[in-house]
Amino acid sequence: MASSSFGPPVGTSLPAPSSTKTTEPTGVAAPPPTAAMEKAPDDTSKLKTLLSILRNIGDSEDPLGRMLAVLRFWFTKDLKYVKGRPCKPYNSTLGEFFRCNWVVEDVAPPVLAPAQKVSSTQPGGTMNKPVTVSFLTEQTSHHPPVSAYWIECLEKGISARGFDQLSAKFTGTSLRVTPGAYNHGIFITLHNWGEEEYQLTHPAANLGGLLRGSLSITVSDTCFITCPKSRIKVILHYLEEGWLGKTQNKVEGVIYTYNPENDAKKRIKDVPEKDILAKLSGCWYDKVFFTLAKSREENLLVDLAPFWPAPKIVPPLEEQLPNESRKFWYDVTQAIVGKEFGKATVLKQELEEKQREKAAERKANNQDWHPRFFTGIVTPEGRPELSKEGIAALRGLQEGQYHIQPSSAAA
């Protein structure tokens, strides 16, 4: 499945060179014996997984601590772009879907240590225990291309959802990528804290190096994280590259209390000092710090240097359906990996032509297509809902039961 520049994990991608080593990341529990697991990069001591950070979001009893944990997840979720190179994904087909698990130990340290006294018996307390994060996404629209996704960790009482949609515009030397009309960001819900919800909007990104053939991502935009229940909001400002063209990847921000019914603040300088809870600064490619209000001490929020994307645990190929991403694009991927690019092009064109034929057949028969795992193609507020089949598929994934009956209505 395709993924936005600043969005959920990519479902279908070619194996990166750094993924060819055999040592698993520290804290990653063994997958079920029937599951297929990607190989992870090698590191003898510092290797951690960003998913420990996702699961750590709901551990703090302090609302500010939970918002800081959300921010820590925010700066790690695009680690694949920090550690690897951007690449063009396949053009997802209507009804194509992808599912996977990550099983890792809950080892992320607290953000606000004094406020986080969590044991394994408290809400979300699973410290040093393996927990599972599950991911399900489906292409719900082809024109425009939109994917719905759902991420869940039952043990921690956390879920995240949204629609993945991009809008791209060529600016002459780079490609400017912005969220599409149905992409309202990532919605994270902490079920152990009274369904506390966080909305994380995406900034625009620029994909440069098109003429040189060396792709790179820069960000120069403002985005927001809001939690109406705790009445805490974050404004993040990604700064322009240096005056002489050298990319700085700087970010600054402010965390403050706000009124969800009356808040129009879009700039950091518009926030009154009395409302500020903490300030943020750093480099989103490296280290980000926070400074609490009425303090001059900088605290480390996240250091990306020792992190690598966690390997996915996917169903065995024989248990995947024909429209499941890894199986659907398997022959094309094998041809690309084998450097048979002509063959890959032919196979890709054949798959896409079959999809066009199916679309023409539905139109001729006056048939509407409906998603299988989600209740609608899109929703006005950007929050997809799982269908009954989606709930069942997610539960099976979490239990290591991968079999799904083929759908007669598959696109």
> What local confidence, expressed as pLDDT, does residue 351 receive?
95
> What local confidence, expressed as pLDDT, does residue 335 receive?
96
Taking the CB of residue 365, how many other CB atoms lie within 10 A of it? Answer: 7
Asked whether the beta carbons of 151 and 134 are under 8 A apart, the reply is yes
3-state secondary structure of 375: coil
Q: Find all residues with CB under 8 Å of 122, minimum gap 6, and list them.
A: none
Beta strands in 89-174 (DSSP E): 97-105, 130-142, 145-153, 158-164, 166-170
In this structure, what are the phi and psi dihedrals at residue 329, rounded to the nearest 5 degrees?
A: -100, 10
3-state secondary structure of 349: helix
Length of the chain: 411
Taking the CB of residue 353, how many other CB atoms lie within 10 A of it? Answer: 10
Rounded Cα distance between 174 and 11, Å, is: 25
Q: Are strands 158-164 and 186-190 parallel, antiparallel or unpaired?
A: antiparallel
- This prediction's pTM: 0.84
In this structure, what are the phi and psi dihedrals at residue 131, rounded to the nearest 5 degrees?
A: -130, 160
pLDDT digits (tens, 9 = 90+) for 273-303: 999 999 999 999 899 999 999 899 999 999 9
> What local confidence, expressed as pLDDT, does residue 247 receive?
61
Query: Residue 188, exposed/middle/buried by CB under 10 A (0-12, 13-18, 19+)?
Result: buried
> What local confidence, expressed as pLDDT, does residue 35 receive?
63
Angle 93-314-191 from CA coordinates, rounded to 5°: 90
Rounded Cα distance between 21 and 36, Å, is: 15
Place of tokens 């994307």: 309
Rounded Cα distance between 31 and 313, Å, is: 7
**Maximum separation of any 2 CA atoms in the chain, in Å:** 68
Using alpha carbons, select from 169, 148, 285 the residue that is nearest to residue 216.
285
> What local confidence, expressed as pLDDT, does residue 21 receive?
30
Place of tokens 């489906």: 138
Rounded Cα distance between 201 and 7, Å, is: 9
Rounded Cα distance between 202 and 225, Å, is: 9
Rounded Cα distance between 38 and 45, Å, is: 20
Angle 303-307-310 from CA coordinates, rounded to 5°: 145
Beta-bridge mates of residue 280 = 253, 290
> What local confidence, expressed as pLDDT, does residue 196 receive?
97
Q: Find all residues with CB under 8 Å of 191, minimum gap 6, and list them.
A: 157, 158, 159
Rounded Cα distance between 200 and 8, Å, is: 12
Taking only the tens of pLDDT, the chain with its 411 residues reads 544 433 333 333 332 222 223 222 233 344 444 566 564 433 322 233 345 455 567 677 889 999 999 999 999 887 877 887 777 788 889 999 999 999 877 666 678 765 434 444 344 455 667 889 999 999 999 889 999 999 999 998 999 999 999 898 888 778 888 999 999 999 999 999 999 999 999 999 888 877 777 778 888 899 999 999 999 999 999 997 665 556 678 999 999 999 999 998 999 999 999 999 999 999 998 999 999 998 999 999 999 988 888 889 999 999 999 999 999 999 999 999 999 999 999 999 999 999 999 999 999 999 999 999 999 999 989 999 999 999 999 999 999 999 998 876 555
Q: Find all residues with CB under 8 Å of 251, minimum gap 6, and list them.
A: 236, 237, 238, 239, 280, 281, 282, 283, 284, 288
pLDDT digits (tens, 9 = 90+) for 108-146: 667 876 543 444 434 445 566 788 999 999 999 988 999
